[in-house]
Structure 1
Amino acid sequence: MGRTGTTRRGALLAVGAAAGGLLTACTDGDDDGSRGPTSAAAVRAAKALRVKSAGTSRELLLQYDAVLARHPDQATRLTPLRGAVARHVTALSPPQPSKKKDGSAKPSPSSSASSAPSAPSSAPSLGTAAGDTGDGASGPAPSVPADPGAAIRELAAAERRASDAHADALVHAPPELARLLASLAAADAAHAYLLTEGFSS
């Protein structure tokens, strides 16, 4: 692999890290990007759009898990990108109800059950989302070609589809959510480039 390709990938990974900072900033609040008075219908629409976009990233995460399970030798290359997609899923997931004003947070059975096994998550394990976000992808595993090159190309195509979907969705999103979707669309496009260039180099 040429040094130029390595440099390109390093630069794009730096760009991806910057985009990660943007998505963190966009999700610091617990609203849907609609500060000020809004109608209940607008809030519901923003939440539905967020759920749909989270599903887009979750499908992409499943694709990464399937490729890593079929081609574990690609882990060094794919794990950082997979980790970024896992963070996208978390960023897009609707905010969970937090503490009550009297300070007595009432944990739900599902949240308390999921927090216990995911506590030792400092080292992400291959093919699981818990190590990255605590929000694991679930669903039927996509089919993966036996040839690693073909599998990587399909993964790049899935990244491009996710990028396009986020770009289409941001047109209908409130400002904060639109900024988040723009960041994710750019990150997915960069991932597709890295996967394509990395395989062809």
Structure 2
Amino acid sequence: MFKPLNLIAIAALLAVPTIAKAHSVTQTHFLEKAKPYAPFEFLIGDWYSRLATQNVSIHQEFKWGPAKSYITYASYLVVPGQPEQLHFTGMMVWNGQSKALDFLFVLQPGSGAQEKGAVVVQPDGSVVRQIALTAADADLDHFRQTFRKAAGGKVITSMMERTVNGWKLQPPGEIVMEKAPAIAGSNPAGH
């Protein structure tokens, strides 16, 4: 009994390095040197917009993935007296071929809808999220969300929808995104 167990243990020890090598990834340090995410860095953080006419706020959250290898983006609706409601969440990752960020977001979690597309930098430094929204019933719509740097560390964003007559600005039009100051020990996102 003792000898077969020793043989199994030795076989397992020999197999572990082989398994580890099969899943290792060579470090290239590409992201550190090329810095493909640099044009998107101004978006990182928590941003808040107040829609006074609708008594609603929007909380947009951009966060780095491990080693700044991707960006997560989530948007929440904030109604006074209620917890934040997740509108969408997902990941944006660098695509070396297109020189843009590819993204995939879950829209209204549980709805079966998704957004996918590319996030590109324009010559003026603005960032455009080109969106293909697919509903659970396979209905497809196209949108563009633009982010532009503004004075005072603010960002202006707007959403346009592709219609049969071209691109149409969606209500409420352009909105201002502002970073809320961090308060020690608080969790303003409520999640």
- Please give the TM-score of this superposition, normalised by the length of structure 1: 0.23
- Please give the TM-score of this superposition, normalised by the length of structure 2: 0.24
Larger RCO (CA under 8 A, 6+ residues apart): 1
Greater fraction of residues in strand: 2
| Structure whose alpha-carbon radius of gyration is higher | 2
